[in-house]
Each structure stands twice: as structure tokens, then as C-alpha cells.
Amino acid sequence: MASDDDSTKDQELAEALQTVKDQIVAKANEIKAEKKWVREVTKIIEAYVKKVRRVNANVRRLQQDVKQLFRKKKQIENMIVQRKLEKKLKIAVEDMKTINLAIKNVKIKETAFNKSKTSIQSTISTMKQALSKLRGEPRGSSSSSSSGSGSGSGSGSSSSESSSR
């Protein structure tokens, strides 16, 4: 009976050995699969790291582009403001020319009025002299009365002018 016992024990040991061998193979395959998974994940991570670097570089380039666009925008806005100011300046220069022309015309009219005034005063003086001569007044009294009245003759002539009109 001892040999039956031994043979069962041998068979149990052989089965246990086979089970352990199978477990070793299974664990080895599991390790191999896990290492393969780690390699694949590492490749994926490396690919994402590269992509992240490319995206960051692109973001920096886009930021530079935006800065450049802001500069262009500011330049265009400045050009618009400059054109508006040039238009306003042109209008202001034209207005200034108009005002200067008006001042020149006023001065011309003032000169003409002064000439007319002088001419009228001369005519009035000549008429007073002729009137004095006709009345038979001596020359000195008429000239003294006209020179004595001075500015009064101007105001007096205005009232006599208005009465003659």
C-alpha cells in the first residue's frame, strides 16, 4: 500500500509542479503584457508631450501675431485721426483765409470811407467859404469859426447834412 500512497503523492506533486509552472508562465505573460502596456503608454505620453510643446509654440506665435495686429490697428486708427485732423486743419485754414479777406475788405472800406469823409469835409469847407463869401463875411471870421468849431463842425455838418438830405 505504500507504493499506492507514493504514486498518489508523486502524482499530486507532479500536478502541483505543473500548476506552479502554469502560474509562472501566466505571471510571466502578465508581466510581459504589463511592460508592453507601459511602453505603449510611454509612447502615447511622449507623443502628447511633443504635441503640447508644438501647441505652446503655436500659442506663442499666435500671441506675436496678435501683438502685430494690435500695432497695425493702432497705426490705422492713428492714420484715421490724422486724416480727420488734416481735414479740420484745412477747414480752419480756409476759415482763416476768409477772415483775413474779410478784415482786408473792412480795411479797404475803412480807407474808402476815410477818403470819402475827407472829401466831404473838404467840400463842406469849400461850401462854407463860398457861403461866407456870398454873405459878405470877411475871410478870417469864417475860417476862425470853422477852425474854432473843429470837431463841432463835423457834428454841425452832420446835422446840416441830415437837414439837406
Q: How many domains does the chain have?
A: 1
Does 8 map to a domain?
no
Query: How far apart are the C-alpha atoms of 23 and 30, rounded to whole Å?
Result: 10
What are the tens digits of pLDDT across the range 7-64? 899 999 999 999 999 999 999 999 999 999 999 999 999 999 999 999 999 999 999 9
| pLDDT at residue 137 in the model | 79
User: What sign has the CA pseudo-torsion 107, 110, 112, 118?
Assistant: negative
**For 13-29, how does the pLDDT look when each residue is reduced to its tens digit (9 = 90+)?**
999 999 999 999 999 99
Residue 90 within any structural domain of the chain: yes
Q: Is residue 82 part of a domain?
A: yes
- Residue 140 counted as domain residue: no
pLDDT digits (tens, 9 = 90+) for 70-98: 999 999 999 999 999 999 999 999 999 99
Q: Is residue 35 part of a domain?
A: yes
pTM for the whole structure? 0.46
Which structural domain range is residue 67 located in?
A: 14-133
Cα Rg, the chain, nearest whole Å: 61
Hey, what amino acid is at 82? Q
Q: Residue 143 falls within a domain, yes or no?
A: no
Distance CA 111, CA 114 (A): 5
